[in-house]
Every structure is written in C-alpha cells, then in structure tokens.
Amino acid sequence: MTSISHIFPEIKHGGSRNFFLIAGPCVIENESMPFEIASNIQNICNRLEIPFIFKASYRKANRSSLHSFTGIGDEKGLKVLENIKKECQIPVLTDIHTAQEASLAAAYVDVLQIPAFLCRQTDLLLAAGQTGKVVNVKKGQFVSPEAMQFAVEKIRSTGNNKIMLTERGTTFGYQDLIVDFCGLESMQKNQCPVILDVTHSLQQPNQLSGITAGKRSHIETLAKAGVAAGFDGIFLETHPNPNEALSDKTTMLPLHTLESLLEKLVKIRKAIL
C-alpha cells in the first residue's frame, strides 16, 4: 500500500493509515451544489479520519449523446473548484482532455485527471506532467494493468513523480465492465497509489438510448471488495439526488448514504492492516 501523504504531505489525516477518498459529483452542475457536497463529505471524512480529495469535472467532453449536458462554462466551472479548494481547504481534482487544457486547469486545481479513453495520449500525459501537478491516470477499459507502466513512464519523463493510477473496469463485452482485482498488484509495482473507481466501474456503456446505464445497487459490494483487496484509494461519485443529476445518474451514490458506507469501509481497512 502507498500512502497518499507521499504525494500530498499536507493532506489532512494523511497519517491515519486509512484509504484516501476521491469523491464528488460527476460534473459541476451549478455554482452552489458542489459546495454542499464538498462540505458534507469533508465533515464525514474529518470524523472518520479519511484523507479527502474533492472531484468534479468542469466540463464533460466525452458524452454518448450530442444533447447531453457538458457543463456551465469552462471558466465558471474551474472557478467553482478553485473556490472550494480555498474555502474548504481541501485538494480538488478535475479531468482534462487536451494538452492545451493542462495548463488552463492547473491554474485552478491540485490534481489533473486523465480520462480512461485518453490514457495512452502521449501529448496529453506529457503536458499534464509538465504542470508539476499530481496526475491521476485512469486505466483504459481496453488496457491491461501491466501496460499502465508506459503511462507512468511518460509522465515521469517530465520529472514529475506525483502520479496516481485508477482502475475503472475492463470491457469484455459491449455493454458491461468487469473489475479484475488481480490488476491491483500489477499497477502497484509502479510505486504509485492505486485507486478503485467504484462508480464508473459499474457503468453499462454503449446503450442505444445514447445515455450510459449503470448498477448503483452494487456500489457498496464493490467498494468493500476494493478496500479488502488493498486499494490505496477509493473513487466514487455522489450527489444529493442522483436521479435528477445531469450526468451519470445511474451510478452516483446518494449523498445521504455515504457516511454509512464509509464507516463500513473504515472497519474493513482496520481489519486488514
């Protein structure tokens, strides 16, 4: 296991030996709701001594349908993230999709996340590494765990060693994802924290409706399995009213159930140490 404090020495509860949590809504839907979600999660994590990074996409570039919601505007979305960082005193994470976005987003956030579909894009990985920010690379649904060493190598070539890897399922069929827990050990050999993206691993992509489906009811099972297996961090999306969310409504965890789930995960973590 790799402690998050190796990357964020200043993160709160970094010495607790707990898993760390990356959580928040899928996308910035407005200027007020992200603060409600961030402060709620922060209070829970403080009580349970869980290191916490807030996540939200300032823009959704990869949507199935042309008509899907993509964001409130780049600058407005990034400013919301910056304000959460300053007011809540927590690290914040967002996705980037092009090399040009790397320097733009780096001015506002602490962690640049490379989406799974783009995990092999050399120019994007290099640009992210050159910012000096923490870079979280999601393993592509089409990539083996062993192949992620090459993404790590590209970022490290910039002199940046602040790298995290995230498992988010592998495509073995057309409309489902499977998590291979054996991949954890392979990715940890890169000496990076390895995270399990619980909610995106439960997606059911490529639906004819043009909207990705998902299996929200399995969130607790997969999260428990991830902590028990030894993942360094847990990534999940949460929303006060998932059924009304503007993106990923079928896989986001209802915010009011998060505390109960995290209490169970902390008990599992303590049992395996």
HEC per residue, the chain? CCCHHHCCCCCCCCCCCCCEEEEECCECCCCCHHHHHHHHHHHHHHHHCCCEEEECECCCCCCCCCCCCCCCCHHHHHHHHHHHHHHHCCCEEEECCCHHHHHHHHCCCCEEEECHHHCCCHHHHHHHHHCCCEEEEECCCCCCCCCHHHHHHHHHCCCCCCEEEEECCECCCCCCCECCCCHHHHHHCCCCCEEEECCHHHEECCCCCCCCEECHHHHHHHHHHHHHHCCCEEEEEEECCHHHCCCCCCCCEEHHHHHHHHHHHHHHHHHHC
Residue 267 has pLDDT above 90, yes or no: yes
* The total number of structural domains that make up the chain: 1
Sign of CA dihedral 219, 95, 80, 159: positive
d(CA 241, CA 56): 16
Residue 62 has pLDDT above 80, yes or no: no
Residue 167 has pLDDT above 90, yes or no: yes
Average pLDDT of the residues in 236-245 = 95
CATH number of 149's domain: 3.20.20.70
Kindly indicate the confidence band of residue 3, based on its pLDDT and cuts at 50, 70 and 90.
confident
Full residue range of the structural domain in which residue 104 is found: 4-272
pLDDT, one tens digit per residue, over 97-131 is 999 999 999 999 999 999 999 999 999 999 999 99
pLDDT at 216: 83
Please classify residue 101 by burial: count the beta carbons closer than 10 Å to its beta carbon, then call 0-12 exposed, 13-18 middle and 19+ buried: buried
Tell if the pTM clears 0.85, that is, is over it.
Answer: yes
Average pLDDT for the chain? 93
pLDDT, one tens digit per residue, over 181-225 is 999 999 999 999 999 999 999 977 655 555 566 688 999 999 999
